[in-house]
Amino acid sequence: MTGLSFRLVQASLAALFALFPAAAFAQVGQPVQGQLGFQDSVTPIMDSIVSFHDHLLMWVITGIVLMVLVLLIIVILRFNQRTNPVPARFTHNTLIEVVWTVVPVLILIVIAIPSFGVLADQETVPDGERLYLGSAIFSGGNVEVPEPTLTIKATGYQWYWGYEYVDDGFDFVSVMLNDEQLATTKPDEPRLLAVDQEIVVPVNTTVRVLVTAADVLHAFAVPSFGIKVDAVPGRLNETWFNARKTGMYYGQCSELCGKDHAFMPIAVRVVEQDQYDAWLAAAETGDFTGANMLLAQAD
């Protein structure tokens, strides 16, 4: 197989795989080896992102890939030296130049308009009445989200995260476990994502997250929640999530922040309301070891 033929096969396979964005490899809460699609969605924000991706963006991208592939094949077959020994001498075609300018602009407009609703979902904290249009664009109905009942401030440091439960008056730092700590304390959790103390929140609860940094730029991102927010020194950014399924969800700093950028993960444990109440009562006294033991016993 020639290099050109191999590239054509690669392009064809890429277009085929693009038709299956929600691959069976996807798993809630964390990435898995061989995964093709997003992590499973557990929030309204991520629902809107998945809908936008699966029902519009991927089809547009697939159409563009197939169109370019067809054009390449036509050029290869029709304008090679054997079938077209005398090349054309024209230098431009006004109609084609207009088309390849106007059509991409129209495609970008089609993509941009629904993306505004998706972006608005992420940037606007629910007030209990607002209907979130981003998740309804392709799913066929509006989604109403209750206003936040829990506020957590996340502060990025080189290279770990600090969390403050603003309404409850306590805070803690969250540091990635090294291999030895992971093997002895949390052997079932993923390497480079497990932390010594995760965020704990109740299920089906709207959580406001205030994000900042103490030194350099960081970014707070949890893929299953569909949130990614810059952490900027001296500035307080805001996002939110409402997780509908219990479990452990992982994220990472998503802004290059120094030599240990890859080693400041985010872990969020979503639990039932009664488990959260018990954990909160112990955490407010500073007894995080006892608080986490309560969760372990409940599991």
- Domain ranges in the chain are 3-136, 148-298
- Relative orientation angle of helices 94-123 and 58-78, to the nearest 10 degrees: 160
Query: What pLDDT does 7 receive?
Result: 54
Top-confidence range, 136-150, 214-228, 284-298: 214-228
pLDDT at position 131: 61
Question: Residue range 15-35: average pLDDT?
Answer: 58
Residues near 126 by Cβ (< 8 Å), separated by ≥ 6? 132, 145, 146, 147, 148, 206, 240, 242
Rounded distance between C-alpha atoms, residue 193 and residue 182, angstroms:
10
What pLDDT is stored for residue 209 in this prediction? 96
Average per-residue pLDDT in the chain?
Answer: 86
- Per-residue pLDDT at 26: 41
Q: Provide the H-helix boundaries in the chain.
A: 3-18, 44-52, 58-78, 94-123, 179-185, 273-283, 288-298
60-68 contact pairs (CB < 8 A, 24+)? 60/107, 60/110, 60/111, 61/18, 62/15, 62/18, 62/19, 64/107, 65/11, 65/14, 65/15, 65/18, 66/15, 68/11
More confident residue, 123 or 231: 231
Span 47-70, average pLDDT: 92
Which pLDDT belongs to residue 18? 47
**Is the pLDDT reported for residue 196 higher than 60?**
yes
CATH of 148-298, one of 3.20.10.10, 3.30.56.10, 2.60.40.420, 3.30.420.10: 2.60.40.420
Region 190-199: what's the mean pLDDT? 94
Residue 295 has pLDDT above 60, yes or no: yes
69-99: per-residue pLDDT in tens? 999 999 899 888 888 888 888 888 899 899 9
pLDDT tens figures, 150-183: 999 999 999 999 999 999 999 999 999 999 999 9
The model's pLDDT over 237-267, given as tens digits with 9 standing for 90+, comes to 999 999 999 999 999 999 999 999 999 999 9
Report residue 12's pLDDT band, with 50, 70 and 90 as the boundaries. low
In this predicted structure, what is the pLDDT of residue 23? 40
What is the per-residue pLDDT for 1? 46
Q: Which of 68-72, 197-201, 294-298 has the lowest mean pLDDT?
A: 294-298
Count of other CB atoms within 10 angstroms of residue 17: 12
State pLDDT tens for residues 98-151.
999 999 999 999 999 888 888 888 888 888 766 666 655 555 556 778 899 999
